[in-house]
Amino acid sequence: MPTGSVRTQFPLGDRMRANIVWLTTGETGARAPLQQDLRADVCVVGAGIAGMSTAYLLAREGRSVVVLDHGRIAGGETHHTTAHLCNAMDDGFIWLERMHGRDATRLVAESHGAAIARIEAIVADEDIACDFDRVDGYLFEPPGQTTAGLGDELAAARRAGVSVEMVSRAPIDGFDTGACLRFSGQAQLHPLKYLNGLAAAFERLGGRIFCGTHVTEVHGGNEAEVISADGPVVRARAAVVATNAPINNRFALHSRQVPFRTFVIGGIVPRGSVTKALFWDDADPYHYVRLQGAFDPTATTDVLLVGGEDVRVGDVNDDDARYDRLERWARARWPTVGEVPYRWSGQVYEPVDGLAFIGRNPLDSDNIYVATGDSGQGMTHGTIAGMLLTDLICGRKSPWTRTYDPARVRLGAVAAYAKDNLGTAARYAEWLLPGEVQGVDRIPPGEGAVLRRGLQKVAVYKDLQGNVSACSATCPHLGCVVGWNKSQDIWECPCHGSRFDRFGKVVNGPAVDDLASVEAPAGAPKKKRALEPV
Ligand SMILES: Cc1cc2nc3c(=O)[nH]c(=O)nc-3n(C[C@H](O)[C@H](O)[C@H](O)COP(=O)(O)OP(=O)(O)OC[C@H]3O[C@@H](n4cnc5c(N)ncnc54)[C@H](O)[C@@H]3O)c2cc1C
Ligand code: FES
């Protein structure tokens, strides 16, 4: 990658399939790339919620901090979020108690509650206008399912110290959810406004942020070294890898979390017709809902965001059907939903035991830290990472160290671990199958597909003009075959979730290298491998 170019995370391809609500009223942040070697107390890789929260909190402790990102501030999964901020845990308290025990489950609830409170305090301290609001959250059962289990969940949530009660129905006009749980003290915000505010506050404290800086190696030791693809190196007492999927951990963590794709639609509703609250059901996969309003105080409408339809990355590529099902589900519950102009998807990592991995990188030097395993609660997990890693780096004890220890092994997770890794092993077997399509002429304009060429699998992209570009379909992380994601116009690896743009340039790890170049298939008009426009 030439010096100074910015990796456009999740670039929209020729057909603009995605439309993200936050980008209509906010933007991801750009900064200049790193051009010379630097020294700092701490180097943070990744300017999403986890990296920026850690950097900001360390800067408040007086540490000199450098942040490197190969894209833009909040340009990764953080701009895909729906930004529900909850201590109502999406895996459920009964499940968490079984997996981690009652004491640890209490610490989990405490840490997510503390994360919401910390965000609220930062918003106030730094005067960040980001639509932060405290709201109630409602959990209800899908139709036809007994509500008996809610009583047990209520008891487990209360044992965990969460403020929750059973109410006769959720405040949804015209749709009777039946009995449901109301969690108080949840919250929501506009993620891009928050992240830009956090970045500005960090810089006021003396912090430095460099975008367009692709990191390829992170080494620990007496002095940590963070090496960028273009050459400059940051040397620091400690390094934090907050790249969503750690780029410095080849296997230990990636075999304990599974990449899922989750989908969101945004529909226009008349202002006042939907209660401002968070909603979830207990379906499998579950739905998550919130209202985003006040883009324009004089407007007469708000946007209802409805997410769900999660699927393991690489299992199916039926995104349009998933958006359609979300829309039908939403209209059945909120008939005032009008036009649906927003739809997008993103990736989340589901750790086998439900909790993020935050702390010292396993099998590494003591001064290398990671934050990953965001699950559906990455906004609070990312903030917990900020608080916990700041404590560890400043030499303080944290009550949450063991709970989120990346080296932990939970006996209850062993079966899930074995099952998920069988699923991953099956993805390596892709090598034995024929390519997805027989020839370039079978690829619709604006799409990609994998072709077999002898023993090689080739990832071929055809633009709207019929120009074809090709790269190896072999993921440079551990060798799985990538697949085309037509909702985001990217190549994604079903094994551990690496993503690459249309031309094979790595957008997110664990891979750090691009897909290898190959010649375009014979007979196809060729397109030069090019950088995505910023
Ligand atoms: C559709 C959707 C809805 C969601 N809804 C919610 C919700 O309601 N509530 C909630 O709590 N969570 C939610 N999540 C999860 C949450 O948004 C994410 O977990 C969280 O934003 C991840 O933050 P992060 O900082 O770990 O990663 P990211 O935001 O992805 O940041 C990682 C950064 O690292 C950079 N990077 C990667 N590799 C390199 C490299 N080699 N060199 C330099 N930089 C690199 C990337 O450019 C990126 O900016 C949702 C996620 C999705 C997809
Ligand atoms: S992400 Fe691990 S093999 Fe592709």
pLDDT single digits (tens) 28-82: 999 999 999 999 999 999 999 999 999 999 999 999 999 999 999 999 999 999 9
> How confident is residue 523, by pLDDT bands cut at 50, 70 and 90?
low
Q: Which atom of ligand 1 is nearest to the CA of 262?
A: 1
pLDDT exceeds cutoff 70 at 178: yes
State if residue 212 touches ligand 1 by the CB under 6 angstroms criterion: no
Percent of the chain with pLDDT over 70: 88
- Cα gap 182→165, rounded to integer Å: 5
**Residue 443 per-residue DSSP state:** S
CA 74–ligand 1 middle distance (angstroms): 8
* Least confident stretch, 42-51, 401-410, 412-421: 412-421
Residue 2 has pLDDT above 70, yes or no: no
Kindly give the distance from the C-alpha atom of residue 262 to the centroid of ligand 2, in angstroms, as a whole number: 19
Per-residue confidence at 295, pLDDT binned at 50, 70, 90?
Answer: low
211 domain residue, yes or no? no
Say what the pLDDT of residue 439 is: 84
352 CA → ligand 1 middle, Å: 18
pLDDT at site 140: 94
Domain assignment present for residue 453? The answer is yes
pLDDT at 428: 52
The answer to whether the beta carbons of residues 245 and 374 sit under 8 Å apart is no
The domain total for the chain is 1
Which atom of ligand 1 is nearest the CA belonging to 290? 8
pLDDT at 532 over 70: no
Say if 467 falls within a structural domain. yes
What DSSP character marks residue 49? Answer: H
Task: Report the range of poorest mean pLDDT among 9-13, 210-214, 320-324.
Answer: 9-13
Instruction: Kindly state the average pLDDT of the residues 324-337.
Output: 96
C-alpha of residue 506 to centroid of ligand 2, in Å: 12
**pLDDT value of position 528:** 40
Distance 290 CA to ligand 2 centre (A): 33
Which of the four pLDDT bands, split at 50, 70 and 90, describes residue 18?
Answer: low
Q: List, as own/partner pairs, every contact residues 320-328 make where C-beta atoms lie below 8 angstroms and the sequence separation is at least 24, other chains included.
A: 322/263, 323/263, 323/265, 326/263, 326/264, 326/265, 326/287, 327/265, 327/267
**Domain containing 441 — which CATH number?**
2.102.10.10
243 Cβ closer than 6 Å to some ligand 1 atom: yes
Domain of 485, in residue numbers: 433-508
Residue 360 falls inside a structural domain: no
Whether pLDDT at 511 is above 60: yes
Comparing 298-302, 388-392, 452-456, 464-468, the range with the smallest average pLDDT is 452-456
Q: 7-16, 124-133, 391-400: which range is least confident on average?
A: 7-16
In this structure, what token pair is assigned to residue 357?
């991995």
What's the gap between Cα 135 and its chain centre? Answer: 23
pLDDT class of 435 with cuts at 50, 70, 90: low
**What does pTM read for this prediction?**
0.92
Tell me if 375 CB under 6 Å of ligand 2: no
* Ligand 1 contact, 374 CB (< 6 A): yes
The pLDDT score that the predictor gives to residue 529 is 38
Query: Which tokens belong to 248?
Result: 């410095």
Question: How much is the pLDDT for 318?
Answer: 85
Average pLDDT over residues 494-510: 93
Confidence (pLDDT) at 501: 93
Read off the pLDDT band of 294 (50, 70, 90): low
pLDDT digits (tens, 9 = 90+) for 230-262: 999 999 999 999 999 999 877 778 888 999 999
Does 338 map to a domain?
Answer: no
Q: CA 471 to CA 457: how far, in whole Å?
A: 9
**How much distance in Å is there from the Cα of 250 to the middle of ligand 2?**
9
Give the pLDDT of residue 424. Answer: 59
Residues 328-345, mean pLDDT to the nearest whole number: 95
**Residue in 312, 428, 475 to alter for ligand 2 test, most ligand atoms within 8 A of Cβ:** 475
Whether the CB of 476 sits within 6 Å of ligand 2: no
Q: Which ligand is nearest to the CA of 475?
A: 2
For ligand 1, the distance from its centroid to the CA atom of residue 48, given in whole angstroms, is: 6
- DSSP symbol at 31: -
What ligand 1 atom has the least distance to the C-alpha of 261?
53
Do the beta carbons of residue 201 and residue 29 sit within 8 Å? no
Alpha-carbon distance of 84 to 352, in angstroms, equals: 22
16 pLDDT tier (thresholds 50, 70, 90):
very low
Residue 458 lies in a domain: yes
Q: To 10 degrees, what angle do helices 378-393 and 49-60 make?
A: 30
Sheet containing 456-462: order of strands: 447-453, 456-462, 468-472
478 lines ligand 2 (CB under 6 A): yes
The sign of the torsion formed by the CA atoms of 113, 372, 420, 345 equals positive
Q: What is the pLDDT of residue 425?
A: 57
- Ligand 1: which atom is nearest the Cα of residue 7? 47
Kindly tell me the sign of the dihedral angle through the C-alpha atoms of 262, 267, 271, 273: negative
Does residue 501 lie within any of the structural domains?
yes
Q: Indicate the helix (H) or strand (E) that contains 292.
A: strand 288-292
User: Which H or E run contains 67?
Assistant: strand 65-68
Query: What string of DSSP letters covers 68-137?
Result: E-SS-BT-SGGGT---EE-SS-TT-HHHHHHHH-HHHHHHHHHHHHHHHHHHHHHHHHTT--S--EEEEE
- Residue predicted with more confidence, 388 or 24: 388
Q: Beta partners for 351?
A: 257
Ligand 1: centre distance to CA 40 (Å): 24
Domain annotation covers residue 481: yes
Q: What is the pLDDT of residue 472?
A: 95
Q: Is the CB of 322 under 6 A from ligand 2?
A: no
Cβ of 495 below 6 Å from ligand 2 = yes
Distance 511 CA to ligand 2 centre (A): 7
Q: What is the pLDDT of residue 3?
A: 34
